[in-house]
Structure formats: C-alpha cells, structure tokens
A and B are shown apart, each in its own frame.
Chain A
Amino acid sequence: MATHFFTDTTVLTGRTMRHITRSLDTILTTAITPIIMMLMFVYVFGGAIDTGSVPYVNYMLPGILLITIASGIAYTAFRLFMDMQGGIFERFHSMPIARSSVLWAHVLTSLAANLISLVLVFGVALLMGFRSGASFLAWLAVAGILFLVTLALTWIAVIPGLTAKSVDGASAFSYPLLFLPFLSSAFVPTQTMPGPVRAFAENQPVTSIVNTIRALFLQQPVGADIWTALAWCLGILAVAYIFASIAYRRRIS
C-alpha cells in the first residue's frame, strides 16, 4: 500500500485544495481578522506604544502573522471534521489506498491555505509601510519558522478535527491560540507588564517566536531566542503529532 502513498496523497490534496479555491471566503475570513487587527494596532493603539526607533508596523507584524496562522488552522479542523461527519472519510478508508494519505492531504492543504493568507496579510503590511532590509538567508529563516509554526499548529488542529462532536467544538480550540500573542511581546514590550503577567509572557512560545522573526526582519542578532523558538515549535509539533496519531488510531479501530 505504501507504493501508492504519494499518488494517493496528491490526488486527495487536489481534492481538498479545490475546497479552498472554491470557497475563497474562508481564506479571506482567515486573512481579514489579522488585517483588521493590524489596522487597529498600527493606526489606533500604535501611537501610544513605545517601540523605540522601530516603526510600529515593523514591530507587530510577526505577531499578526502568528494570529493569521492561528485563525487559518481553525478551518483545517473544520474541513477534517466535515469529512469525518459525512461518509467520505469511511469511503476512503474502505478503499485500496494508503490510508494515512487521507490525513496528510488535510495537513498539506492546511500548509497551502495558510501560505496564501500569510501572503495576503504580508501584502497589506507592505502597503502600510512595512519594510525590511533582511538578507535572503534571514527571509529564508523567517519562512522556515513560519512553516514550522504552521505545521505544529496544523497537527494540533487535527486533534479536534478527528475528535470533536460538533462543528463549534472543532474550531473553538483556536480561540486560546488567537489570544496567546496578546500575552506576549507581539504588540507591547514585555517590560511594561506587571510581574506575573510578564513572567508568563516571557516564557510562553509566542514571545520567542515573535522575537526571532522580529530580529531577523530588523537585521539584529537573534541570540538564544531562535533556539528557544525552534525547541517550542518542534516540541509542540512532536506532542501534537503523537496525540493526533492516537486520536486517529482510536477513530479507525
């Protein structure tokens, strides 16, 4: 069966990609929330936030990109849930195909959909004056980190997609993820926060990821942040993958 893994995954990814290209509203919804937040922060709150010599749009873009991913993966869970609800998941599983390609197709589609909405948000940021003199390598590093974040969060999304009892349950898990950037260095420097909040903010994954991307954009040394960020991403990815696999195995036996 493994011989068909790549062809089957390609065919099934083609199917889920059509779900995206035929309901572009999901991509727009995914992109619009972060874009509105970006407008609010840059043109309303931004003036009151002291980020030194860094223009605010440059400062907060990394956080907005993470919010974009967090709202994008809610649809990953939704699409998977809808497949489980209808008979199509069972149809695929009773066919002579590589069974795991059913799940991988959703994961690849999630990566593609998030790439599209990230590009959209990025385009708006450019219009709003975002500029970076980062080198090609630094851009590559940013892309790599965003890819890892998307992959890790996608595998988190697979868990409710497989186990949720209702549509609302399938996407509700993303709300805490949407709020996590607010309790981090994404929008305001953590130095301004009261003790316990600051302690939480400085030790949660978003801060190290945001600091790394920001430093790469600003052509500053990334320091230890990049290793903390990578460790968080890979750790979350591994744990989410394990739990998703357990949920998947429970679902098919």
Chain B
Amino acid sequence: MLALMSIPPATKQTRGPAIQVQGLQKSYKQLHVLRGVDFEVARGSIFALLGSNGAGKTTIVKILSTLLKADTGAAQVNGFDVAAQAADVRESISLTGQFTAVDEILTGRENLVLVAKLRHLKDPQAIADDLLRRFSLTEAGNRRAATYSGGMRRRLDIAMSLIGNPPVIFLDEPTAGLDPQARIEVWQAVKNLAQSGTTVLLTTQYLDEAEQLADQIAILHQGRIIVTGTLAELKALLPPAEVEYVEKQPTLEDVFFAVVGHNQK
C-alpha cells in the first residue's frame, strides 16, 4: 500500500489535454489583441489556429511558450501553468517561431548539436546525425545554414525543435514565405511529428494548410476564437452541399508540379 502511495511525482505529466487556455487577454498599450481566448488541444493531435495577419496568433504562441505574460486568464501546457511553472513548461515544449531561428554562421549540424547541448542531452553528435538524416539534410549538414534554401532552413529549424522529444511543439506560421515545394516538405515533417505522438499547435493564415494538417481547427478573429472543430464539423456549419457538375480544371499548383515533376503528396 505504502509503496503504491509513494510513486514519485511525474516530471512529465501525461494526463489531461496537452494545452488548456482559459479567458486569455493581452493588450499592447491601447491595442487589445486578445479579448478572452479559450481552447483545448488534445494530446497527440495537430491543432491549427487560423487567422489573418494581426489576429493575435503569434501573441497566443508567445504566451504559451513563456515569452510573454498574459494580462488575465490562465493557460496550462502539458499540465503546467505558463505563469507559475514556466520552467516546467519550457521543459515540455519547443518553439519554431515565425522567423527561422537557425544560426546562419553555424553549419546545420552545429545548429543541431548546439540545441542538443543546451537541452543537456547525451551524445549530441548522434542526435544531430539522426535528425539530419530524417530531414534529408545529411549532405548539407556541414555547410553553413546561410547557404541553405528557405525550405532547408525551415526543415533545420523544425529539426532543432524536435531535439529532446518535447511532448508539445509550437509552429508559428511554419510555411510563410516558402515556395510550394518547400511547403509540402514542411507539411510532411509536421505529419510525421503527429504520427510519433507529439502534440502540435500551429498557426497559419493559409486555409489549405489547416485543411491539410489539422485534426482540430480554431478560427481566431478580432482577439476571440469564433469557432473550433474538426474540418468536417466546420463544414457542417454551412448548409448541406448541393451537387453540381463542374468540369475539373487543374489548379495552378497541379500545373506547377506537373511541369516541375515533383508531385510528392
């Protein structure tokens, strides 16, 4: 009996939703960016925060990753309060911000080794090798990140976020400014992440990105979440579809990939 009761407290909490947000508000001087945001993200799911520029997506991500403090409201990540248990939250997350956070003077490998060392992991070189392979960067591994294309840089950025296998990953506009090819590469990386059980919260202004990736979609508008649900649930909000017969025209994307010859969906 006693033995049962003296189970050591889990450092990595695994019960309950991965992210819980209640009544979050934040203003920058006069600008009321968040006006009471509530949502929950289930463990192991991909959750997309969809909103136009300035809707407050980045502000939410910054609060959840302990970079900003909310004015009112509460948020828990991996069961830890972002204000009171910031250090535990940081143990549980990785942030891939809006601007690619790679060190351009270092090589891809050195970037990965740097993060592995900062996470106090054993054998940083082996971790770097493994991630370079998983993100098809092995050949570029010993080149400076400054020489990488946008897609490669973003892949390296995401690879850096996976080090230490944090249970929750934030991706703030992961495909902004990428060409179609690079976007698909990033999407594939995100899908692989979710398959391995990581909870992903991503923000995007691209509707097709949310449609492609997310289990749950929340639409953030003027500082509030106005709807949340699966893609099917959101579609059900509209009147039932009428059947129309339309000649299927190829999209420009279809043409692009047909011409370039890289249609790898």
Contact = CB atoms under 8 A, between A and B. Distances in A.
A249 to B, nearest CB: 12
A22 B105 CA distance: 8
Interface string B35-67: 000000000000000000000000000100111
Nearest to B160: A91
Q: Is the interface of A mostly helix, strand, loop or mixed?
A: helix
Interface string A80-118: 000001111011111111000000000000000000000
A23 interface: yes
A94 B95 contact: yes
Interface in B102-155: 102-106, 110, 114-115, 117-120
B90 A19 contact: no
Interface stretch (A7-15, A70-78, A122-130, A147-155): A7-15
A12 B99 contact: no
B99 A86 contact: yes
B101 interface: yes
A224 interface: no
Contacts of B181: none
- Max chain A CB contacts within 10 Å: which of B98, B100, B110, B117? B117
B97 A90 contact: yes
- Max chain A CB contacts within 10 Å: which of B87, B105, B118? B118
Given A90-B67, A95-B119, A18 B90 contact: no
Contacts of B119: 95-96
16 contacts: A1-B87, A7-B117, A12-B118, A18-B105, A19-B105, A86-B99, A86-B101, A87-B100, A87-B157, A90-B95, A91-B97, A93-B67, A94-B67, A94-B93, A95-B90, A95-B118
Interface of B: 62, 65-69, 87, 90-91, 93-95, 97-106, 110, 114-115, 117-120, 157, 160
